Structure 1
Amino acid sequence: MPLHSLARLSPTAVLGLWRLTETPAELWRGLPQAAAYRALAPATADATRQAQWVAGRVLVHELLAELLPGQLGQQLVVHNDATGRPWLAGAARGLLVSLSHSGAWVAAVLARGGRAGVDVEMIRDKAQRLAGKFLATPEWAEALAATQKSPETASAHYTLLWSAKETLYKLAARRGIVFREQLRLGSFAPQESGEIPATLMLNGALSRHCVCYFQPAPGYVLTYCYEPGA
């Protein structure tokens, strides 16, 4: 199975990447609790979406095996709440999970306590076309300045900004967030990998965060943020 990488973010958190090459049938054979998952699987998804969905659950179980001793992790099942956010049913003991998929890549963060968000995106021009909907005016002005110097990087840059805000949204775990107003990105010098300073504005309070990013493969960008519990 093409588990691409496992990276420890801390003693209690792990980031995993899966490169999708299998069919849904092949992925189902590697999934613990398959009967429980078949009852949860989206019924109308095409073969690509099915493969992404199943691969995400297979990846989470790989991370559970890394983070938990013995067979405990194999007894858990990934569910989704009303907002689509994943959670673990069973004796999860404070475990949290964040999942994302795009194209041939699936990403997940599993942690014991704290907060986490992860997002993987195929680089396309869609984020640039929709920039005015999710970027605040200063963020958009900075993006324009950065991409004017190297127009060939525009799609990658705007996709990175969108991905960073998606990760912040997952970290916040709140419904109804306005991306332009409540999720703000600070200045950074774009590289192949790095960090983006960020601010969440929730209930009249500000909190500072750091979104990490890198390219898992040409044509993709991945962002994540993990913050241990107090």
Structure 2
Amino acid sequence: MIFYHQGSKKKSNELGVASGCLLIIGFGAIIFFFTLLDDIDDLSDYLFEIIGVLVMAISVTYGLFSKKGKIANKHITIKDDYFKIDKVSVLLDTITIDCFMIEGKFSRYFLRDSQGKIAIYSVLNDDLIAFFLENKPQQVTVLEETYHKHEGPYISVKSDDNSLYYDLESGKYTIKKQDEPSVSFTPDVFDYDAKYKLGKPLFKKK
């Protein structure tokens, strides 16, 4: 069984040549700045500038090298009780989905596995969520959505007893439930709004 990726293709978030060059230029600028100082006493005259440059350098470095999941622009395969996306494969029974509804109407869903290897967020009512609702309803939790916010790459969705925080750039997510410890993972592979469509076989066996 194959679910084809029908959504827009996202850019890879892997460290690229341009990002590497930007990092080198940034550190080169810092070194050049320090060469302009005649002696150590000049540091006090440029204290705020130095702090600003260092904060910028640390922020850029952290953003480039902090752990991020790989964006999946490929299809999903469900076969032999395994769920596979890109090169990551997990047992189908380890998949859990939160399906958010507003007044009985679909709003969005969030799919992940128990080990935090996969994460899929979507505001599209596609064939993937339909498959689980029909064939694996025990793995779907239907929640009444009370609040949502989308600011930059950050998503917040809340129900009466469940809060989801999701980063569209790294795939990192945190789920908080009442009276339970919060769960947070940066998955190996993630996707959002992929609009998965169930593939139809070209030839059916008689």
The TM-score, its normalising length taken from structure 1, stands at: 0.24
Answer with 1 or 2: which has the greater Rg: 2
The TM-score, its normalising length taken from structure 2, stands at: 0.26
